[in-house]
Amino acid sequence: MKTSNRCFQFGGVLTKLIPYFIAVVIYFTDFIPIESDIVGIVIKCLPIWCLIIFVGLHTINYEKEYKWFCYMVMFGLLFGSLGDALLYIGNFIEGAASFAVGHIFYITAYGWNPRAWIFGVICYALIIGLSIYIIPYLDGFLIVGLPLYGAIIVTMLWRASARIYLKKDWTITKWFVVFCAINFVVSDAFIGIDMFVTDIPNSHYIIMSTYYVAQLGMAISVLDPRIPEKHKDIGKCTIFYC
């Protein structure tokens, strides 16, 4: 692919993301006053809805073999926005459950090949250490529920990271998705520590900024979709393939 064509397509991607960036700015600047839970939910979820539209626009242009990946990402974003709404009104367990379902969709999209076990060991060691730190501050269902959610999100990180395990499969998109998946884990780790262990200064800005970056990466992954094994001979379908 010629450099000029690649730059042109990259510019097209950024153009489609403009609504997302505007929505994020609106959220952090309180440009629209929040007078009700409904308005608050809309402002919080709007960046994710913009990403869902972004994914939908790319899904339309893909051949049938690629659409399944986009659908999985789209459902992941959809359940993420539902989790946002539930957390906003104080339903923590239900919100976390919704996010867990979203991560399962991401895991399904990223697949299980290559295994990249070393990445998996690192991810699970991370969640085990964090769980040991937080569990003494938990009670009831959360003693089991929070580590279970942690296992699901680090599995998502593992599967996202596995996409760069083989050097021949490296792309800018995949590296960016890994960076954003790490942001997802960081965001949720800050939520857990801030809610159950100790107050973190400016935690809201840290949590939401890393979260919005994380979901951006999940959406961007549709630029480099995983191809089902039976369709491997079709070739790559990405403007960022290197």
What is residue 192's predicted lDDT score, i.e. its pLDDT? 95
* 3-state secondary structure labels for all residues of the chain: CCHHHHHHHHHHHHHHHHHHHHHHHHHHHCCCCCCCHHHHHHHHHHHHHHHHHHHHHHHHHCCHHHHHHHHHHHHHHHHHHHHHHHHHCCCHHHHHHHHHHHHHHHHHHHCCCCCCHHHHHHHHHHHHHHHHHHHHHCCCCHHHHHHHHHHHHHHHHHHHHHCCCCHHHCEHHHHHHHHHHHHHHHHHHHHHHHHHCCCCCCHHHHHHHHHHHHHHHHHHHHHCCCCCHHHHHHCCCCCCEC
Q: What is the pLDDT of residue 66?
A: 87
For 192-216, what is the mean pLDDT?
96
Tell me which residue range forms the domain holding 58.
3-234
Identify whether 239 is part of a domain: no
Q: What is the pLDDT of residue 170?
A: 85
pLDDT tens digits for 32-90? 677 788 999 999 999 999 999 999 998 988 888 889 999 999 999 999 999 999 999 99
Residue 167 lies in a domain: yes
Q: Is the pLDDT of residue 241 over 70?
A: no
What end-to-end distance do the CA atoms of the chain give, in Å?
Answer: 9
Instruction: Answer for the pair 120, 154: CB distance below 8 angstroms, yes or no.
Output: no
The share of the chain scoring above pLDDT 70, in percent, equals 88
How many residues are listed for the chain in this entry?
242
In a domain, 106, yes or no: yes
In the prediction, which pLDDT does 235 show? Answer: 38
* Assigned domain for 89 exists: yes
Query: Is 241 part of any domain?
Result: no
What is this structure's pTM? Answer: 0.89
Cα Rg of the chain (Å, integer): 18
- What pLDDT, on a 0 to 100 scale, did the predictor assign at position 63? 83
The overall average pLDDT reported for the chain is 88
In the chain, how many domains are there?
1
pLDDT of residue 207: 97
Does residue 229 form part of some domain? Answer: yes
Give me the pLDDT at residue 61, please: 82
Q: Is residue 66 part of a domain?
A: yes
Q: Which residue has the higher pLDDT, 200 or 1?
A: 200
